[in-house]
Amino acid sequence: MNLDFAFICDYAEAGAKLNALGIGFDTIFARQLPVRHLHFSLVLQLRASVTEAGRKSITVNLIDEDGKDIIPAVQGQFNIARPEVGAYSIGRFVVEFGNVEFQHYGSYSMHINIEGSEITSIPFRVTAPPDNKAV
């Protein structure tokens, strides 16, 4: 199974096409801590061959720079349809996060595991805004 892309954005929905707003999300600016981020989305697109298709488990961990989960792991299952021989199937996924509280400034990352194997991680940070940056 191949990962075509994965990113964090402000909002997304998956269907025949993916629609996403605020792509390139890599920093949360916070004037004070703790800060609660109201909403963001994780977007994934996977490509599977005929031998890789089927029901799979997914786990998403959101961790701080010390490797500690800041929310409970998000776990679920999905199905990628079996393609015709010689073709591939696409799986598009959006995982929504709401009211996530960040206790400190620093580096964070989202780790995505399929069937127990990490397929990617996405780093981001929480930091104080520059003096001229509106939050």
Residues 26-53 pLDDT 10s: 999 999 999 999 999 999 999 999 989 9
What CA–CA distances, in Å, run from 58 to 21, 78, 84, 111? 23, 8, 24, 10
Distance CA 133, CA 135 (A): 6
pLDDT per residue over 49-72, tens digit each? 998 999 999 999 999 999 999 999
Q: What architecture (CATH level 2) is domain 2-127?
A: Sandwich (2.60)
134 pLDDT more than 60? no
Distance CA 63, CA 124 (A): 10
Strands (E), 30-73: 35-48, 54-64
Buried b (16+ CB within 10 A) or exposed e, 88-105: bbebbbbbebeebebeee
Distance CA 47, CA 88 (A): 6
131 pLDDT more than 90? no
Distance CA 78, CA 14 (A): 13
Q: Give the DSSP H/E element, type plus range, for residue 34.
A: none
What CA–CA distances, in Å, run from 87 to 80, 121, 130? 13, 27, 49
Reference 80, options 65, 90, 93, 66; nearest CA is 90
Percent of the chain whose pLDDT exceeds 90: 84
**Banded model confidence at residue 86, pLDDT cuts 50, 70, 90:** confident
